[in-house]
């Protein structure tokens, strides 16, 4: 018996245009929701980043103040021990005239 006359069973059926449209529209809805979540996350992250940067700036200013006080104390000790007054030099370094003063 020859096998030439056997009809192949179709393993793939063609998807209808209606089904494709439904799938595409469902995917668009999913992407829209995902984009809303992402935008919300971006807003949150942006706000958090701004807050963190402001806190870093504040902490750096406090660290600067502590170092300035420590340096002035060391200058006073140096003056007491050796009679060398470098207060003007230190003040010039701490308050550089070329650097604009920041207002709080």
Domain boundaries in the chain?
A: 17-94
**What's the predicted TM-score (pTM) here?**
0.58
Decide if 78 contacts 89 (C-beta within 8 A).
no
Write down the residue that tokens 């030099």 correspond to.
Answer: 89
Q: Per-residue pLDDT tens for 32-85? A: 999 999 999 999 999 999 999 999 999 999 999 999 899 888 888 888 787 777
3-state secondary structure of 96: coil
pLDDT at 10 over 90: no
Decide if 87 contacts 74 (C-beta within 8 A).
no
Give residues with Cβ within 8 angstroms of 85, minimum separation 6: 79
**Distance between CA atoms of 68 and 91, rounded to whole angstroms?**
10
Longest CA–CA span in the chain (Å) reads 120
């Amino acid at each position: 018996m020859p096998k030439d006359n056997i009809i192949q069973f179709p393993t793939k059926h063609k998807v209808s245009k209606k089904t494709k449209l439904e799938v595409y529209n469902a995917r668009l809805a999913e992407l829209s929701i995902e984009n809303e979540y992402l935008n919300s996350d971006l807003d949150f992250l942006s706000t958090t980043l701004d807050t963190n940067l402001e806190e870093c700036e504040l902490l750096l200013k406090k660290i600067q103040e502590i170092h300035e006080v420590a340096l002035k104390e060391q200058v006073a000790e140096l003056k007491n021990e050796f009679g060398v007054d470098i207060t003007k030099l230190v003040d010039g370094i701490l308050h550089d005239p070329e650097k604009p003063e920041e207002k709080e």
